[in-house]
């Protein structure tokens, strides 16, 4: 599965995790358009992302799911949740691709992004990218 490079937004409040994701993405040839640690910071976004990597519990609480829905509605961004608590997603964003469980690997992030950007059928979903179940 080969996909082009994409513009990726990181929605994560843990500084070291955000840096790790940025390193993985840039090393994989993707452009990081920003890092959003909370709902208020979303207003500083100056470029539309193709894909958003979204944690759930952010600096201002459980706002990741709402941010994901906003990114999907405003930009049509594909959403990949990156979390240790997928049960907290609730109603997923309409453009949700899946969930990468924390702790993640470089390979799991890059495979998930490639899958999302390539628009592959569910049968080609990488094992590290779990489908989201509505709660």
Question: For the chain, how many structural domains are there in total?
Answer: 1
Res 4: pLDDT: 62
Q: Would residue 1 count as lying in a domain?
A: no
Residue that wins the pLDDT comparison between 34 and 46: 34
Q: Would residue 135 count as lying in a domain?
A: no
The region of weakest confidence among 12-16, 41-45, 83-87, 124-128 is 124-128
| 66, 39 Cβ separation under 8 angstroms | yes
Q: Would residue 2 count as lying in a domain?
A: no
Q: Which tens digit of pLDDT belongs to each residue from 24-34?
A: 999 999 999 99
Name the region of 99 (left: φ>0; alpha: ψ -120 to 50; beta: rest). Answer: beta
Residue that wins the pLDDT comparison between 134 and 96: 96
CATH number of the domain enclosing 74: 3.40.50.2300
Q: Would residue 74 count as lying in a domain?
A: yes
Judged against a pLDDT cut of 70, whether residue 134 lies above it is answered with no
Q: Would residue 108 count as lying in a domain?
A: yes
| 47, 31 Cβ separation under 8 angstroms | no
Q: Which domain holds residue 18?
A: 7-130
C-alpha span between 106 and 95 (Å, rounded): 23
Res 26: pLDDT: 96
């Amino acid at each position: 599965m080969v996909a082009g490079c994409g513009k990726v937004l990181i929605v994560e409040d843990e500084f070291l995790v955000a840096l790790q994701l940025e390193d993985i993405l840039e090393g994989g040839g993707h452009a990081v358009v920003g890092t959003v640690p909370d709902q208020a910071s979303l207003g500083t976004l100056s470029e539309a992302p193709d894909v958003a990597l979204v944690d759930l519990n952010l600096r201002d609480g459980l706002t990741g799911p709402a941010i994901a829905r906003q990114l999907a509605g405003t930009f049509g961004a594909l959403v990949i949740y990156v979390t240790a608590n997928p049960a907290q997603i609730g109603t997923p964003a309409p453009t949700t691709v899946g969930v990468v469980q924390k702790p993640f690997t470089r390979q799991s992030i890059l495979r998930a992004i490639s899958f999302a950007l390539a628009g592959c059928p569910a049968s080609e979903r990488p094992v590290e990218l779990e489908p989201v179940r509505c709660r």
